């Protein structure tokens, strides 16, 4: 086979219209063979003899998109020193931009013989291994424009490609569960109705299904088991054509961008699917194990594991770091995604032992002209010592705020002594982020995510019900900070159903009206249930997919209306933390930017904050001084708001503040529905909050009905509904 010297950069397989350049890094290799496969699976091998800076490379004319390939690396198999080369194993290119097939966990995929980890397996793995695909890099992006939505205007929707679309009745059956399904107009219309500005997709990098799950008839549904950092997962493509998943993914991004929706990827750069020392040899393990993986200093046969998955990427090695950075730039530039959410991000900061926010990984991102300008979201923890790092990531990062989740859950389930922290969390968590010169948008606020109960289950179960996972209900979090509203699981009790419906509205309204960036977990606005399973990672079934036909319509409408309220009022999406500064009102009176009230209408005292009782509190948000623009770009000044929260099991009557705050107030949100027909309330009047409910009042404005932007009527009517999706027995 004809081969030319080619170039050492870029790494991977790069088609230029005439042929393909192949380049792969391995410092430990003694010989590298490029393996090309025709349509019948026949393998042809060609040695890469050109080596520059440990990059083995060559250019093969007439190799075009759709061609399958892999590598065989000859070198030491010396596990005691961390080397695991085995040329009998076909290896997936770490830079492969598309992947064909999936592994079947055949014995040949392992470099040792089962039952003897010190042996050497000479079985050839080519028939059982995944293969890289040369892709067509050209795509018609004409008309595409990244939305570049500012953080303070963002509403994020976390979703799974398959779970979002597999049961959608308006998506054609052949497109369900695919990138094309996500791009379907009916799915996009739903996101737009909710005011979603960014779709955060659970892992779409090529991943591997675990053998332990397959043996149980289950699968790795979530996808946190990456093997290809450049390739869109092939099972999410609606076509079986080799390499077409790249084109389909790009088309999805383009469609979402046209709708004003950004695409954020949940990326797993902390480990790979090759697992621990007993795992298969699929890619990097056989290419240069010592370079790509973090090994135990005292015995390099074993892998350092900060992730609970068997291995950790070696972020101390410049070539491993290059792999991650090249992957990020590829997705941002070539695939045009708008940001990344980093799974177990603390692992990426462990250059030595402790988490170090000055590590090489963060320094590289800081200076990178591309990656430093996209949305960067950290899951700020891992399972290693000192791994919980909420509030400690560098200034340009935002974080999943786990403390927000825990505190808001505690508050609404009536946990005592949570009031002070609740106030801090809904006002932007300045205690976590202000010290590093960050702003409220550093806090990605969430109540639920893929990991844990759905919102419906959060108010329906006290205990996890994970028996379907085949681990005797031992997997998943046991401390969920949930409350079942009086009955565990499905019920026909109308009082319990009313409480559950109200609690879901409480969580949604709190989330959307807190300072920071709200993130909704897919299907929560539709009443999605997993029947109490809080660890659906292995459940690729109707248990985890959104059941669109059983959607909770009133809850969906409520969510959309509160999101609209947030979008219309910059008071709920401040760009700076509250600092107590005085703002002049219309009559010359000066009031602080935020003030907290007890039920009697007076400012909260230290004793009230510290009271060990079920919580209720009022919050004044001063809209004066919060300037924005309308749709025509004209400057507008926002109105002030009162937010009342009552987590007590009894009704609480609040006295509205004096007229220096406002003469009249309109109820615009009432999660209990009791304020549906209430006229404007005068200063000093009283308003009764039903037990476990939330109410939002806006400074009164005399406007004609036809131009009133208030969502009060629809919110109140929907809040009065106790309808839910049909209760399904677990």
Where the chain has pLDDT below 50, the residues are 704-710, 713, 726, 728-730
Q: How far apart are CA 125 and CA 142, in angstroms?
A: 42
**Domains recognised in the chain with CATH numbers:** 12-134 (2.60.40.10), 151-265+314-571 (3.20.20.80), 581-699 (2.60.40.1180)
Which segments of 415-547 does DSSP mark as H helices, in order?
419-426, 430-433, 455-458, 494-513
Residue 49 CB neighbours (<10 A): 12
Q: In terms of residues, how long is the chain?
A: 730
Active site residues: 343, 379
Q: Give the model's pLDDT for residue 717.
A: 53
The answer to whether 432 and 401 are in contact (CB under 8 A) is: yes
d(CA 619, CA 607): 17
C-alpha to C-alpha distance for 300 and 83, rounded to whole angstroms: 9
Q: Rounded to two decimals, what is the model's pTM?
A: 0.95
CA dihedral 485, 487, 492, 497 (to 10 degrees): 0
Please tell me the predicted confidence (pLDDT) of residue 637.
Answer: 78
Cα separation values, 626 from 105, 195, 513, 663, Å: 59, 21, 15, 20
Three-state secondary-structure class, residue 543: coil
CA distance 671 to 459: 15
């Amino acid at each position: 086979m004809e081969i030319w010297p080619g170039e050492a950069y870029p790494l991977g397989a790069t088609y230029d219209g005439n042929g393909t350049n192949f380049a792969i890094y391995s410092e430990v290799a003694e010989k590298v063979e490029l393996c090309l496969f025709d349509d019948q699976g026949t393998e042809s091998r060609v040695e890469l003899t050109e080596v520059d800076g440990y990059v083995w490379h060559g250019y093969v004319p007439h190799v075009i998109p759709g061609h399958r390939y892999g590598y065989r690396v000859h070198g030491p198999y010396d596990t005691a020193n961390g080397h695991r080369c085995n040329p009998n194993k076909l290896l997936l290119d770490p830079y492969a931009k598309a992947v064909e097939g999936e592994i079947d966990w055949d014995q040949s995929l392992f470099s040792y013989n089962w039952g003897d980890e010190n042996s050497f397996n000479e079985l050839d793995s080519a028939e059982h291994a995944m293969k890289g695909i040369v892709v067509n890099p050209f795509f018609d992006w004409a008309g595409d424009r990244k939305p570049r939505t500012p953080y303070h205007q963002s509403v994020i929707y976390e979703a799974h490609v398959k779970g979002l679309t597999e049961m959608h009745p308006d998506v054609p059956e052949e497109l369900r569960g695919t990138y094309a399904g996500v791009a379907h107009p009916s799915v996009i219309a739903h996101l737009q109705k909710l005011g979603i500005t960014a779709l955060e997709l659970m892992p779409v990098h090529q991943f591997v299904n675990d053998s332990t799950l397959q043996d149980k008839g289950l699968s790795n549904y979530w996808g946190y088991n990456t093997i290809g950092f450049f390739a869109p997962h092939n099972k999410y493509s609606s076509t079986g054509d080799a390499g077409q998943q790249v084109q389909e993914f790009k088309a999805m991004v383009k469609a979402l961008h046209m709708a004003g929706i950004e695409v954020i990827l949940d990326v797993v750069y902390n480990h790979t699917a090759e697992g621990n020392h007993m795992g298969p040899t699929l890619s990097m393990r056989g290419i240069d194990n010592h370079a790509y993986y973090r090994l135990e200093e005292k015995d390099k046969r074993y892998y350092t594991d900060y992730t609970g998955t068997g291995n950790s990427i070696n972020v101390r090695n410049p070539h491993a770091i290059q792999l991650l950075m090249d992957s990020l730039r590829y997705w941002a530039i070539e695939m045009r995604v708008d940001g990344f959410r980093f799974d177990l991000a603390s692992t990426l900061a462990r250059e030595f032992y402790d988490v170090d926010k000055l590590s090489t990984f963060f320094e590289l991102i800081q200076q990178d002209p591309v990656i430093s300008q996209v949305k960067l979201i950290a899951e700020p923890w891992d399972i290693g010592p000192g791994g919980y790092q909420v509030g400690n990531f560098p200034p340009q990062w935002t974080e999943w705020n786990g403390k927000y989740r825990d505190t808001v859950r505690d508050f609404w389930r009536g946990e005592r002594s949570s009031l002070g922290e609740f106030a801090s969390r809904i006002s932007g968590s300045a205690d976590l982020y202000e010290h590093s010169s960050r702003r409220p948008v550093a806090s990605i606020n969430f109540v639920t995510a893929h990991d844990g109960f759905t919102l419906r289950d959060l108010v329906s179960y006290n205990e996890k019900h994970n028996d379907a996972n085949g681990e005797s209900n031992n997997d998943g979090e046991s401390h969920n900070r949930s409350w079942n509203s009086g009955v565990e699981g499905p019920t026909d009790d109308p009082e319990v159903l009313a409480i559950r419906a109200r609690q879901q509205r409480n969580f949604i309204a709190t989330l959307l009206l807190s300072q920071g960036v709200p993130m909704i977990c897919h299907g929560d606005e539709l009443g999605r249930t997993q029947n109490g399973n809080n660890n659906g990672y292995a459940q690729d079934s109707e248990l985890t997919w959104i059941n669109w036909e059983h959607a909770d319509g009133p809850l969906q409408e409520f969510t959309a209306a509160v999101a609209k309220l947030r979008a219309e009022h910059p008071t709920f999406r401040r760009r700076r933390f509250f600092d107590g500064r005085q703002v002049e009102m219309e009559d010359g009176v000066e009031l602080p930017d935020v003030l907290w009230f007890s039920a009697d209408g007076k400012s909260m005292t230290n004793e009230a904050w510290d009271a060990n009782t079920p919580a209720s509190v009022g919050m004044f948000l001063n809209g004066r001084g919060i300037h924005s623009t309308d749709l025509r770009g004209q400057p507008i000044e926002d109105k002030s708001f009162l937010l009342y929260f009552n987590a007590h099991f009894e009704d609480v009557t609040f006295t509205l503040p004096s007229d220096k705050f406002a003469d009249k107030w309109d109820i615009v949100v009432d999660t209990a529905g009791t304020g549906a027909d209430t006229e404007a309330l005068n200063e000093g009047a009283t308003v009764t909050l039903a037990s476990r409910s939330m109410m939002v009042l806006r400074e009164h404005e005399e406007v004609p009905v036809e131009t009133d932007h208030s969502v009060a009527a629809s919110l109140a009517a929907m809040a009065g509904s106790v309808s839910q999706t049909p209760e399904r027995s677990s």
